[in-house]
Structure 1
Amino acid sequence: MPRTDAGVELAGVSVRYGSAKQPVTVLDSVDLRVGAGEFVVLVGPSGCGKTTLLRVIAGFARPDSGSALVGGAAPRPGRGAGVVFQQPRLFPWRTVGGNLGFALARHGVPRSQRPGRIAELLERVGLPGMAGRRTWELSGGQQQRVALARALAAEPGLLLMDEPFSALDALTRERLQEEVRSLAGRLGTTVVFVTHSVEEAVLLGSRVLVMAAGPGRVVEDLPVPLPRDPGTGVPELRASPEFARLRGHLTEALRPA
């Protein structure tokens, strides 16, 4: 099971790019707390620093000022967090099982245990029996499921997702939204999810953080008091008055001033 201590805490995090003479501030004094088991969604205009914030939490980027902690320690790439990108980024020369086996090997899983773990991961993301398939034989949605399985290979307590469904067709996107929502609930995984879609934010998040551009900062922290039990389907959520209210609120909050 995933770790249960995968809370995130950012205090005064600022990130600047460019030269010392002409720095560009991407994030400006961001304070953020994500409790273990929360599903927090980041929304905001392009260029507001959502992906940069995710990179700081993953340990791929270091803040120029302030501090970042995951599970009480400084984040390090590949340690404690699974990351799913907008594109699957699978190894095309490996099978589905080979991609997952590579991830398991990196995390120290003995060779004898890998076939069982691969089968378990594929079952978990709805791709049973597909370990022998080539990645180029899969649809875009299936490839993204493999990417999710790879991120779950180390049983992370924290899952970071950067617009993972934006390139998919509407039907596949809806199916994966429901699966990720259900999966995170069953495993108790902490999730930080980046999207441009207001509807996706309300559907998935237990909280939605609205970011403003120029430079990036959190301007609103919106709780989403919708049912999160697996028995409540996505169609029922979308049809609820509360869903419509939250979607309208976020849409208004993201309008340019």
Structure 2
Amino acid sequence: MPTAELPSATPPSTAVPAVDLRGVAVRYGPAKAPVTALEGVTLTVAEGEFVVLVGPSGCGKTTLLRVVAGFEHPTDGTAEVLGAVPSPGRGTGLVFQQPRLFPWRTVGGNLAFALARQGLARTERPARIMELLTLVGLPGFERRRTWELSGGQQQRVAIARALAGTPRLLLLDEPFAALDAITRERLQEELRTLADVTGTTVVFVTHSAEEAVLLGSRVLVMAAEPGRVAAELPIGLERGPHTEVAALRATPEFARLRGELNLALTSAAAGTGEEGQLPPAS
């Protein structure tokens, strides 16, 4: 297969990118003995892309996501998100591995809180809450208590909360890692459909090569010591509006892409191979 080149990791587009990182490094600790979480990360994410970051623990995936969200500032390099310096909540929505809902509020109350933070008038919130819950497949759940929901339902509410401000960019940090396989598959389908319907740009972090291929339009493989983008893989799976995850898994193209990504992950974890290139398919 042709190799995929870095360091720019830039999809073909003339539009202003949703995410633009140039030589980003993040270091912690004293200057004499810093811990390098990220080093020399240069990448762009185009509007409407679904980009997946995948790699082993400690490779800087979450740190990179926090830079994009505006919770971390680069030690070196520059970061722009939606044409400006990243700032929490400015055009972005964030979903964590755990839902982090307010247990003393109802489902509707959790969403109302987010809508109030966005400045939506109180009289307009009920209609928007119904719209958001319908979007994530939970119509009529606004009066339910969060502790009455399953883990998958709670994560849907967390996604709805992240969409409350109609973000142009949605950031997700392993949101399905703690779920059972059946619920995870269902939410994978729903998230990909939601992204297609709304046109929201998505950056998604995962440890799973299979999940990365299922969801991404492009996958970036990260390596550690220091944390960096080691390779990228364009995903050309044909997805229709009602394509099921099980159907995608059964295709030869899915098997080929998953195999190539697994090889890239093995190479990145071992620190072997030329940076910016995927290993050849076996």
| TM superposition score normalised by structure 2 | 0.88
Measured in 1, the distance between the counterparts of 2:32 and 2:208 equals: 36
Measured in 2, the distance between the counterparts of 1:113 and 1:235 equals: 39
Structure 1 ranges of 4+ moved more than 3 A: none
Measured in 1, the distance between the counterparts of 2:134 and 2:16 equals: 26
Name the counterpart of 1:176. Answer: 187
Measured in 1, the distance between the counterparts of 2:179 and 2:101 equals: 16
Identity of aligned residues (%): 72
Aligned partner of residue 67 in structure 1, secondary structure: strand
Q: CA deviation at 1:176?
A: 0.2
Name the counterpart of 1:222. Answer: 233
Name the counterpart of 1:103. Answer: 114
* Matching residue's letter, 1:102: F
User: Are the aligned partners of 1:158 and 1:189 in contact in 2 as well (CA < 8 Å)?
Assistant: yes
Aligned partner of residue 77 in structure 1, secondary structure: coil
1:77 aligns with 2:88: yes
Aligned partner of residue 52 in structure 2, secondary structure: strand
Query: What do residues 111-162 of structure 1 show as CA deviations (whole Å, max 9, x unaligned)?
Result: 0000000000000000000000000110000000000000000000000000
Query: What do residues 24-80 of structure 1 show as CA deviations (whole Å, max 9, x unaligned)?
Result: 111001001000000000001100000000000000100001111111111100111
Could you tell me which runs of 5 or more consecutive residues in structure 2 were left unpaired when the two chains were aligned: 1-14, 271-282
Range with greater deviation from structure 2 (183-192 or 233-242): 233-242
Q: CA deviation at 1:91?
A: 0.4
User: Are the aligned partners of 2:17 and 2:44 in contact in 1 as well (CA < 8 Å)?
Assistant: no
1:150 aligns with 2:157: no
User: Are the aligned partners of 2:115 and 2:125 in contact in 1 as well (CA < 8 Å)?
Assistant: yes
**Shift in CA distance, 121/211, structure 1 to aligned 2, threshold 3 Å:** same
Measured in 1, the distance between the counterparts of 2:30 and 2:189 equals: 43
Name the counterpart of 1:128. Answer: 139
Aligned partner of residue 251 in structure 1, secondary structure: helix
Name the counterpart of 1:89. Answer: 100
* Matching residue's letter, 1:72: G
Question: In angstroms, what is the RMSD of aligned CA positions?
Answer: 1.1
Out of 18, 21, 27, the position equivalent to 2:38 is: 27
Query: What do residues 175-215 of structure 1 show as CA deviations (whole Å, max 9, x unaligned)?
Result: 00000000000110100000000000000000000001101
Q: CA deviation at 1:5?
A: 6.7
User: Are the aligned partners of 1:6 and 1:157 in contact in 2 as well (CA < 8 Å)?
Assistant: no
Could you tell me which runs of 5 or more consecutive residues in structure 1 were left unpaired when the two chains were aligned: none
Aligned partner of residue 202 in structure 1, secondary structure: helix
Measured in 1, the distance between the counterparts of 2:229 and 2:32 equals: 26
Out of 12, 22, 46, the position equivalent to 2:57 is: 46
* Matching residue's letter, 2:131: E
1:210 aligns with 2:221: yes
User: Are the aligned partners of 1:121 and 1:153 in contact in 2 as well (CA < 8 Å)?
Assistant: yes
Name the counterpart of 2:126. Answer: 115
Measured in 2, the distance between the counterparts of 1:5 and 1:118 equals: 31
Q: CA deviation at 1:83?
A: 0.2
Name the counterpart of 1:13. Answer: 24
